[in-house]
Amino acid sequence: MKLWLLRLIDENAETDNPWNPWYDKCFGFVICAENQKEARELAHNDAGDENRGEFLRQKIADTKGPWLDPKYSTCIELTAGDTSIIIMKDMQSA
């Protein structure tokens, strides 16, 4: 098994952004899976409201599966490095 880091791509337009508004959403995952496809599927199945594709009956994104789609999210394999780093800190302040 491998470790995968999944993060949203925050560059999508305001009208095509599954993470807008920002609450009740998942913004990242670290997942243990055999491959990228399985990692994306696990994230998709445990997602928050980013999978809805709409907010208050208004379309906010052209997807209901942003964790499955490289247009909306990244999925990279984590490997050991030579330096100490924080793998993931996901904080949202209001």
Domain of residue 21 covers 2-78
pLDDT at 59: 79
pLDDT tens sequence across 38-87: 999 999 999 999 998 777 777 788 889 999 999 999 999 998 888 887 87
In-domain check, residue 93: no
Which secondary structure element, helix H or strand E, spans residue 40, and what is its range? helix 36-45
Cis peptide before 21 (omega within 30 of 0): yes
Residue 4 in contact with residue 78, Cβ under 8 Å?
yes
Find where tokens 């999944």 sit: 6
- Structural domains counted in the chain: 1
13 confidence band (pLDDT: 50, 70, 90): low
pLDDT of residue 38: 97
- Statement: the pTM of the whole predicted model exceeds 0.85: no
Residue 38 resides in a domain:
yes
